[in-house]
Structure 1
Amino acid sequence: MSDLAAGPDWLANRDVVLLRDVATAVVRLDGATRLDSFTLPYPAEAQRALDALVLRCLRDGARPPSGVPELIRWCRTRPLGSWPLDRLPDGLFGTDDRLINAESGEPTQLCQELAVKEHGDSTGRQYDRMVIREAMRACRDASSPESYTSFRRLLVTRPVLTEADWFDISTDLYLDPVGFLIEEVYAPVPVSYRRHGSYLSCGRCLTLLTPLAGGGWWCERDQCRHRGAAPHGRLLHAADVGGLRQLRRPLRQFVTGPGQAETALEIELRSLGLAVEMWPGFDAYDLRITFADGHVWAVDVKDWAHPGLLGRAATPVRPEPSYDEACWVVPSFRVEMRRDYLDVFARERGAHARALALLTDSQLLTAAQRRVRGDRSAKACITPADSTDDGADSA
């Protein structure tokens, strides 16, 4: 195996490309039917990924999967590092990274990040960005930044809607400009989420829990599972709640999850007496934090499973609305799960993003506390001391 740091274009590594093809096939299969009940004919992506993996194994004298069902079992039971792909860069994946969660049979967040559609971007990220761009356009046309903020809070705080909830948001005037979009992004909940006629939401992240075949419930959010068994939230009886809807998965993954980290930071920062504006300038970045002396921080919150993919996606924080310092933030649990997370991100940033720091949410709060107390040292800053100005105006 080669070292991840040794080659700048590890995404072009043929074993990485092959795994991304397999991840794409898994996501396509999951979108068409449950992974444990798919039938012939298989989607073309699945057959192509299987054929490529079989050829790769045969060339190297390894036993290949016998068909798509066994390929799916590999994805669920075999950590990626144990696959017979000896050209994968060292350190690319964690020791337990899989494409399908062993408990639930659902594609993992890593799988969603690896899956591609075109231009090398993940399918989920493309959908997420399309929805957000359309919401911005509609709210700009209505000259209503408040509508955009309301829409973002809706996606963060209400990933599941009952018929009564649906009526509530349909009468919210701030959401009028994006009403057509809300119809699209909330989809009917599959019966696979139901047990004994009821659905159960997670008491932490508010998404629906998946019932497990052997009993118990599974939360799709990596952070919830890291913290232990998901606390039970709302028990929703199908006979009482009517047509239940939930956000489509790419939005739950790339908007709801990070958004909950954003709003948690908002609460903590406000408790320090700081002024916090959420998603300013039609979501130029996530939080605009203003200190008593007028000093301004701009923060974008990310929640990606793979630090290398996040590093490759790194771009400077947009310069408007103006700020003095800026950074990206990742939930602390990502670094607890993978100790080299921040180092891999820093190594994988492009030259255009060398001045962009990635902090954990805990590190950001500690720096904010120091600055509130009057500390002006590097420990109270969120921009590396040797960084150059990337276009942010001084406040």
Structure 2
Amino acid sequence: MRVADQRLVPDWLSNPDVMLLRDIATAVLQLAAVDGLDAFTLPYPAGAQRALDALVLRCLCNGARPPSGVPEMMRWARHRPLGSWPLDGLPLGLFEAGDRLVDEHSGQPAQLCHELAVRSHGDSTGRQYDRLVIDEAFRACRDAAAPESYTAFRRLLVEQPVLTAYDWTDISTDLFLDPVRHVIEEIYAPVPPHFRRDGAYLCCRRCLILLHPVDDTGWWCERDQCRSLGAAPHGRELVAADVGEPRQLRKPLRQFVTGPGRAEVALESALRALGLTVEMWPAFDAYDLRITFPDGHVWAVDVKDWAHPAFLGRAAAPVRPEPPYDEACWVVPRFRVRARRDYLDVYAEERPAQAGGLRLLTDDRLIRASRLRLAGERGPSASIAPQSPPGTPDAPPEGPHDDGANDA
């Protein structure tokens, strides 16, 4: 029997069943990094065996049949929604009905799996790599007194996650990238052969990353947002015989930099179309977008693309104060709120008091607020500052579950 009807208890991160799932999520990522999730070889990583042992014990205590081994535990991760696992102590409402650790169709770790592992152990290996790369690029550009080089580097990771030999030649002559040349040579790796079908690779037209071949003819995009929009549209086809073996960003950078970066540049484009001045990653990435209105009023925006709103809420912190701004908020892609209607409420409930009431808006709602302010509106709908006392859930004028889906 599950715990009493409570959504997210204050100490849910310390809940034993949540901690167990976090260990299993970490094991999934370890196995994916070593063998891929469709090929298990002995000995298993020690973390995977420990996670299995703990899951077996929990199942036996709950009178449920446990998985017979690591392969079956991985089948659970792929085919069983988390809410159906025999873990009676999971807080109600923490996971959605379809939440899985592994994507059922592709067999690749889901973004939720990455977030569980990252949040549980401070930083996963992948997340550490992501930060090391960004920090090294920051250091190199700062030492060269070249903030424009840092911006060019970030844009490269967002707009060119896959490079052919011809692309590689082009960027090798880009003077803006000179301070980070050594970083670029490290982070673009040869593409594994399992991405190739019939001698060719295929890029997603929306995300620009390489698609994963599935079944005999299908293709799968690793980005949640892209899959939410339907089948991945086919973009560049890279025939190895014509363009050579391509290189792609390493997975942690695709996951934590390219993915959110696509949302950032989409916002940049939409806001510039309104006539606003937008600076990307100002002051060496103090925040993501600095938006200046004609009257000099400035908004600071950080874009976050997280699958689980509770983890995002726990991570909430004030936007850095420099370069200065008048108002600040975090922004999440609208599809996250469409997929989980309580996303904004859960974020606000989990947001710590020290975040100062930091608001989370959908991307289209930020654009709507920009339009209203440009039109002369000065009320709450044209503001991105906190609309309620710090530490309490936001109550936007359009209603607590409005994600701006009807906005143009």
Classify the TM-score, shorter chain.
over 0.9
Distance 1:33 1:245 in 2: 20
Q: For each residue in 1:186-218, what CA deviation from the matched residue of structure 2 results, as whole angstroms up to 9, or x when unmatched?
A: 111111111111110001000100111242100
Q: Which of 221, 229, 250 is equivalent to 1:219?
A: 221
**1:229 and 2:231 aligned:** yes
Q: Which residue of 1 aligns with 2:136?
A: 134
- Using the TM superposition, give the Cα deviation of residue 377 of structure 1 relative to its aligned residue in structure 2, in angstroms: 0.6
Q: Which residue of 2 aligns with 1:44?
A: 46
Q: Is the 8 A contact 2:81 2:98 kept in 1?
A: yes
**1:246 and 2:255 aligned:** no
Give the AA of the match of 2:14.
Answer: A
> If the length of structure 2 is used for normalisation, what is the TM-score?
0.93
Distance 1:316 1:137 in 2: 23
Distance 1:315 1:383 in 2: 14
Q: For each residue in 1:322-378, what CA deviation from the matched residue of structure 2 results, as whole angstroms up to 9, or x when unmatched?
A: 000000000000000000101111111111014200000011000000000000011
- Using the TM superposition, give the Cα deviation of residue 178 of structure 1 relative to its aligned residue in structure 2, in angstroms: 0.8
- Using the TM superposition, give the Cα deviation of residue 387 of structure 1 relative to its aligned residue in structure 2, in angstroms: 5.2
Q: Which of 15, 28, 31 is equivalent to 1:13?
A: 15
Give the AA of the match of 1:99.
Answer: L
Distance 1:155 1:276 in 2: 19
Q: Is the 8 A contact 2:62 2:88 kept in 1?
A: no
Give the AA of the match of 1:371.
Answer: R
Give the AA of the match of 1:189.
Answer: V
- Using the TM superposition, give the Cα deviation of residue 384 of structure 1 relative to its aligned residue in structure 2, in angstroms: 1.9
Q: Is the 8 A contact 1:276 1:287 kept in 2?
A: yes
Q: Which residue of 1 aligns with 2:400?
A: none
Tell me the secondary structure at the aligned position of residue 115 of structure 1: helix
Q: Which of 307, 311, 316 is equivalent to 1:305?
A: 307
Distance 1:56 1:204 in 2: 42
Distance 1:90 1:215 in 2: 39
| Total equivalences in the alignment | 388
Q: Which residue of 1 aligns with 2:99?
A: 97
Q: Which residue of 2 aligns with 1:337?
A: 339
Indicate the larger mover: 111-120 or 25-34. Answer: 111-120
Distance 1:65 1:374 in 2: 61
Q: Which residue of 2 aligns with 1:113?
A: 115
Q: Which residue of 1 aligns with 2:365?
A: 363
Distance 1:68 1:122 in 2: 20
Q: Which residue of 2 aligns with 1:280?
A: 282
Q: Which of 154, 158, 165 is equivalent to 1:163?
A: 165
Distance 1:203 1:6 in 2: 38
- Using the TM superposition, give the Cα deviation of residue 52 of structure 1 relative to its aligned residue in structure 2, in angstroms: 0.7
Q: Is the 8 A contact 1:280 1:321 kept in 2?
A: yes
Q: Is the 8 A contact 2:22 2:120 kept in 1?
A: no
Distance 2:230 2:376 in 1: 37
Distance 2:120 2:348 in 1: 25
Q: For each residue in 1:161-197, what CA deviation from the matched residue of structure 2 results, as whole angstroms up to 9, or x when unmatched?
A: 1111111111111111111111221111111111111
Q: Which residue of 1 aligns with 2:384?
A: 382
Q: For each residue in 1:283-322, what CA deviation from the matched residue of structure 2 results, as whole angstroms up to 9, or x when unmatched?
A: 0000000001100000000000011111111110000000
Distance 2:297 2:263 in 1: 23
Q: Is the 8 A contact 1:262 1:286 kept in 2?
A: yes
Give the AA of the match of 2:58.
Answer: R
- Using the TM superposition, give the Cα deviation of residue 131 of structure 1 relative to its aligned residue in structure 2, in angstroms: 1.3
Give the AA of the match of 2:265.
Answer: T
Distance 2:119 2:341 in 1: 30
User: Residues 6 and 254 from structure 1, CA distance in 2 versus in 1: closer, same or farther, beyond 3 angstroms?
Assistant: closer
User: Residues 159 and 6 from structure 1, CA distance in 2 versus in 1: closer, same or farther, beyond 3 angstroms?
Assistant: closer
Distance 2:217 2:95 in 1: 30
**1:58 and 2:74 aligned:** no
Tell me the secondary structure at the aligned position of residue 301 of structure 2: strand
User: Residues 252 and 4 from structure 1, CA distance in 2 versus in 1: closer, same or farther, beyond 3 angstroms?
Assistant: farther
Distance 2:383 2:265 in 1: 21
User: Residues 197-208 of structure 1 correspond to what in structure 2 (within 5 A)?
Assistant: 197-208=199-210
Q: Is the 8 A contact 2:220 2:232 kept in 1?
A: yes
Give the AA of the match of 2:59.
Answer: C
Q: Is the 8 A contact 1:113 1:124 kept in 2?
A: no
Give the AA of the match of 1:223.
Answer: Q
**1:69 and 2:68 aligned:** no
Q: Is the 8 A contact 1:21 1:116 kept in 2?
A: no
- Using the TM superposition, give the Cα deviation of residue 87 of structure 1 relative to its aligned residue in structure 2, in angstroms: 0.4
Provide the aligned C-alpha RMSD in A. 1.4
User: Residues 386 and 339 from structure 1, CA distance in 2 versus in 1: closer, same or farther, beyond 3 angstroms?
Assistant: closer
Tell me the secondary structure at the aligned position of residue 149 of structure 1: helix
Q: Is the 8 A contact 1:307 1:345 kept in 2?
A: yes
User: Residues 345 and 33 from structure 1, CA distance in 2 versus in 1: closer, same or farther, beyond 3 angstroms?
Assistant: same
Q: Which residue of 1 aligns with 2:269?
A: 267
Give the AA of the match of 2:20.
Answer: L
Q: Which residue of 1 aligns with 2:89?
A: 87
Q: Which residue of 2 aligns with 1:391?
A: none
Distance 1:364 1:341 in 2: 16
Give the AA of the match of 1:266.
Answer: E
Give the AA of the match of 1:353.
Answer: A
